[in-house]
């Protein structure tokens, strides 16, 4: 069916009376992966999926500010294949429309289950007279099945088209982004967090062991890369900003790898030796580009009060002459509550921007400990862990986390679905940015490179949307090679010029 023919009037809704209908409702000002999950679940509950769109006159202007028109929002929904019909809620109310259509099921976001407006309350009562109400945000997942249905080139082409549309929407051009990249050299930043050394071991698969069901491989060669907060500092420096690095290392050979790499990149550093812990060392065994498993050598106990005070003293000395602090917390004990408190106080005293990234893929931490930051960059999983909520929709999760952390901006990272950028301004601006690489080689450092690019961009005067365009291109470059390899300002500009029209 032509997408334009899917948009019907409230008067035409009576024709749907005999159909087995699942009804969805919302403003849909920005359609992102969270909405698609919600709509996909609704589609499984009935034969026809009908979406009701809030009209312009009913849209909360104080909440949305500049928004797409009702026609544009309806057209975007009509282009989604699983949707059968779209109705703009003009000259009627939701409960009256329900009386006309008599849907089998009304599907509402999980957040409506706890708090209902008068309009939603009337709609729910109307449905209960002939059908049922389901509160559901769609299935939460942290991976993608896109490659089962589309080839890589089509996926990447679609993502590039989407990014160019976003740039046109916000009047972002290659020239304006070049100006932002040129300003990177003016930023003075401190990166603090957990140091990691990543070891990649290339192997040849020999087969299964005859003695036990164990895969046998032959080691071919290995390469070591700095990782964790150290690679964030490396990205910051190679992008052109002035960078100072603060971390804790062990008294071992791995610490020498880190020191040597930082010196080669002209990164000044305070590397405090803690003899009670080795430098965190992660070994990944790979056959071609496929990771088999990882072995981590980690001590994640909290640093001593003496080391904590050394870090606090150093931050206090540096604070008057810096523009921003990047906290890269892998929850291995370096970032303590006292250090976060000091960072917060110094930020207020010297007008320092704060950027926070917490990674808890294999350990437990809560991004909600970053309070009053200019940017936080959690994954969806980390966001749900912080709120102890696995059911609510992405919008509710994001808005709640922004409110609780009092953060100015946030990126909700969605893995292969890219990320959603949220601005905690009066109008709660948000935009979904696609992942540009359809079949990445190594995603290990994507978040680190994104975090670095976003932080440097915002410190250099970029808007959240400009920084997000730069960030998504930076992350795409990062996943094209095995290992954490710093990306230069020139390489980033070259890629931007290839992607943007």
Taking phi over 0 as left and psi of -120 to 50 as alpha, with beta for the rest, 461 belongs to left
Q: Are 121 and 253 in the same domain? A: no
**Lowest-confidence segment of 81-95, 163-177, 358-372, 386-400 by average pLDDT:** 358-372
The pLDDT-based confidence of 142 (bands split at 50, 70, 90) is: very low
Q: Are 95 and 190 in the same domain? A: no
The larger pLDDT score, comparing residue 17 to residue 246, is at 246
Element (H, E) at 116: none
- What b/e string do you get for 148-159 counting C-beta neighbours within 10 Å, with b at 16 or more? eeeeeeebbeeb
Q: Are 130 and 165 in the same domain? A: no
The reply to whether 146 falls in a domain is no
Q: Are 94 and 195 in the same domain? A: no
Q: Give me the mean pLDDT over the 408-417 stretch.
A: 93
The reply to whether 263 falls in a domain is yes
* Residue 148 confidence (pLDDT): 39
Q: What are the beta bridge partners of residue 88? A: 53
pLDDT-above-90 percentage for the chain: 63
Q: Which two tokens stand for residue 260?
A: 């040597």
CA–CA dist 343, 354 (Å, integer): 8
Q: Which two tokens stand for residue 491?
A: 């390489």
* Residue 152 confidence (pLDDT): 57
Highest mean pLDDT among 27-41, 67-81, 155-169, 175-189: 175-189
Q: Are 254 and 307 in the same domain? A: yes
Has residue 432 got a pLDDT over 70? yes
Q: Which residue has the tokens 């998504």?
A: 472
Q: Give me the mean pLDDT over the 451-473 stretch.
A: 97
CA–CA dist 12, 419 (Å, integer): 37
Q: What sign does the dihedral 100-105-109-110 (CA atoms) show?
A: positive
Residue 389: name the closest of 142, 144, 140 by CA: 140
Q: Give me the mean pLDDT over the 59-84 stretch.
A: 78
**Lowest-confidence segment of 34-43, 219-228, 326-335 by average pLDDT:** 34-43
Residue 220: name the closest of 200, 206, 204 by CA: 204
Q: Which two tokens stand for residue 499?
A: 């992607």
CA–CA dist 87, 52 (Å, integer): 5
Has residue 3 got a pLDDT over 70? no
Q: Are 114 and 189 in the same domain? A: no
Has residue 443 got a pLDDT over 50? yes
Does residue 319 contact residue 349 with C-beta atoms inside 8 Å? Answer: yes
The reply to whether 288 falls in a domain is no
Has residue 28 got a pLDDT over 60? yes
Q: Are 44 and 166 in the same domain? A: no
Has residue 144 got a pLDDT over 50? no
pLDDT (tens digit, 9 = 90+) per residue, 343-379? 999 999 999 999 999 987 666 678 999 999 999 999 9
* Residue 336 confidence (pLDDT): 96
Q: Are 237 and 126 in the same domain? A: no
The reply to whether 179 falls in a domain is no
The pLDDT-based confidence of 426 (bands split at 50, 70, 90) is: low
CATH code where residue 74 lies = 3.40.50.620
Q: Give me the mean pLDDT over the 450-456 stretch.
A: 98
Has residue 439 got a pLDDT over 80? no
* Residue 145 confidence (pLDDT): 41
CATH code where residue 449 lies = 3.40.1190.20
CA–CA dist 205, 217 (Å, integer): 4
Residue 237: name the closest of 496, 488, 484 by CA: 488
Q: Are 56 and 97 in the same domain? A: yes
Longest dimension (CA), the chain: 76
Domain around 369: 161-171+185-199+226-283+299-456+471-499
Q: Are 7 and 93 in the same domain? A: yes
The reply to whether 274 falls in a domain is yes
Q: Are 373 and 478 in the same domain? A: yes
Average pLDDT value over all residues in the chain: 89
The reply to whether 219 falls in a domain is no
The larger pLDDT score, comparing residue 299 to residue 114, is at 299
Has residue 146 got a pLDDT over 70? no
Q: Give me the mean pLDDT over the 188-202 stretch.
A: 96
Q: Is residue 377 helix, strand or coil?
A: coil
What's the total number of domains in the chain?
A: 2
Question: From residue 229, how far is each of 141, 298, 302, 359 by CA, in Å?
Answer: 27, 15, 17, 11
**Lowest-confidence segment of 136-145, 204-213, 333-342, 368-377 by average pLDDT:** 136-145
pLDDT-above-70 percentage for the chain: 92
Please give the full DSSP string across 166-185, using - where no structure is assigned: HHHHTT--HHHHHHHHHGGG
The reply to whether 205 falls in a domain is no
DSSP-assigned letter for residue 479: T
Q: In what order do the strands lie in the sheet with 215-228?
A: 215-228, 195-208, 280-287, 290-297
SS (H, E, C) 304-320: CHHHHHHHHHHHHHHHH
Q: Give me the mean pLDDT over the 382-410 stretch.
A: 91
φ/ψ of 455, rounded to 5, equals -65, -45
The reply to whether 209 falls in a domain is no
pLDDT (tens digit, 9 = 90+) per residue, 258-281? 999 999 999 999 999 999 999 999
The pLDDT-based confidence of 237 (bands split at 50, 70, 90) is: very high
Q: Are 233 and 106 in the same domain? A: no
């Amino acid at each position: 069916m032509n997408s334009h023919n899917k948009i019907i009037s409230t008067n035409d809704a009576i024709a749907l009376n005999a159909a087995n209908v699942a009804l969805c409702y919302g403003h849909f000002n920005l359609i992102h992966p969270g909405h698609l999950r919600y709509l996909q679940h609704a589609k499984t509950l009935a034969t026809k999926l009908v979406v009701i769109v809030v009209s312009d006159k009913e849209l909360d202007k104080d909440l949305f500010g500049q928004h797409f028109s009702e026609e544009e929002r309806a057209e975007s929904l009509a282009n989604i294949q699983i949707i059968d019909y779209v109705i703009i809620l003009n000259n009627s109310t939701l409960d009256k429309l329900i009386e006309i259509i008599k849907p089998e099921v009304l599907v509402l976001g999980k957040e409506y289950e706890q708090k209902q407006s008068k309009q939603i309350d009337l709609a729910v009562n109307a449905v209960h007279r002939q059908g049922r109400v389901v509160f559901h945000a769609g299935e939460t997942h942290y991976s993608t099945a896109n490659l089962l249905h589309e080839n890589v080139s089509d996926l990447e082409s679609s993502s590039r088209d989407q990014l160019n549309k976003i740039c046109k929407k916000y009047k972002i051009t290659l020239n304006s982004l070049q100006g932002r990249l040129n300003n990177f050299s003016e930023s003075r930043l401190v990166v603090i967090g957990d140091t990691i050394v990543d070891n990649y071991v290339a192997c040849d698969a020999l087969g299964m062991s005859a003695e036990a069901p164990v895969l046998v491989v032959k080691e071919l060669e290995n390469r070591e890369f700095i990782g964790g907060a150290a690679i964030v500092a490396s990205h910051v420096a190679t992008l052109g900003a002035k960078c100072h690095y603060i971390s804790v290392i062990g008294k071992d050979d791995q610490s020498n790898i880190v020191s040597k790499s930082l010196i080669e990149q002209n990164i000044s550093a305070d590397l405090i030796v803690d003899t009670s812990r080795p430098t965190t060392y992660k070994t990944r065994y790979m056959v071609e580009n496929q990771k088999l498993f990882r072995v981590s050598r980690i001590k994640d106990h909290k640093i001593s009060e003496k080391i904590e005070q050394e870090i606090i003293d150093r931050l206090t000395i540096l604070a008057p002459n810096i523009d921003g602090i990047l906290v890269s917390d892998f929850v291995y004990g370096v970032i303590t509550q006292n250090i976060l408190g000091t960072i917060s106080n110094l930020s207020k005293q010297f007008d320092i921007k704060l950027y926070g990234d917490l990674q808890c893929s294999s350990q437990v931490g809560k991004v909600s400990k970053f309070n009053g930051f200019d940017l936080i960059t959690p994954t969806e999983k980390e966001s749900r862990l912080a709120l102890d909520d696995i059911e609510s929709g992405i919008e509710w999760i994001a808005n709640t986390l922004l409110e609780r952390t009092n953060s100015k901006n946030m990126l909700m990272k969605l893995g292969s679905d890219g990320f959603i950028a949220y601005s905690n301004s009066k109008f709660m601006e948000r935009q979904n940015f696609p992942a540009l690489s359809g079949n990445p080689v190594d995603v290990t450092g994507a978040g680190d490179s994104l975090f670095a690019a976003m932080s440097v961009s915002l410190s250099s005067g970029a808007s959240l949307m400009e920084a997000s365009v730069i960030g998504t291109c930076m992350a795409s470059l990062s996943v094209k090679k095995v290992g954490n390899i710093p990306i230069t300002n020139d390489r980033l500009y070259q890629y931007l010029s290839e992607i943007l029209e």
